[in-house]
Amino acid sequence: MESFLSDEVRNGLDQARKRAKKSSNRLCVHVGDKVYRVTQTFDNGFSLPEDLGADLRGLVDVYDGPKHLFQCLIVCADQADGEVHYEYKRTTEAVDQPPVDFVRAEDAPIALLGK
């Protein structure tokens, strides 16, 4: 169907697709004080718009809105279709409790009650 559309209409549709892709995804990458919105996610990485000019590399934090999902080590993998694709070298899931080095019993008491 796009073969019958004029160049202006086709360009408008492409821009609308890019805007919809940006607004539908809540994931963002935090690098120090800077925040970049993720346009696409993959099993082994994510992509950012090429026009950001961000040459990201190293340790970054990935958030879903205000929720910290994981911290990851990334490298730039590819540039295509106006996007830069990054791959994970390592990911560490963010947890809200400190790790423990022992097994907690399910029926262990939560607190001691006084007499």
pTM score, two decimals? 0.65
Give tens-digit pLDDT for 95-110: 887 878 888 888 888 8
Question: Which range is least confidently modeled, 52-56, 60-64, 69-73, 105-109?
Answer: 52-56
What are the residue ranges spanned by the domains of the chain?
24-93
pLDDT of 112 over the 90 cut? no
* 39-75 CB burial, b ≥16 within 10 A, e <16: beeeeebbbbbeeeebebeeebbbbeeeeeebebebe
Does domain 24-93 match CATH 2.40.10.430? yes
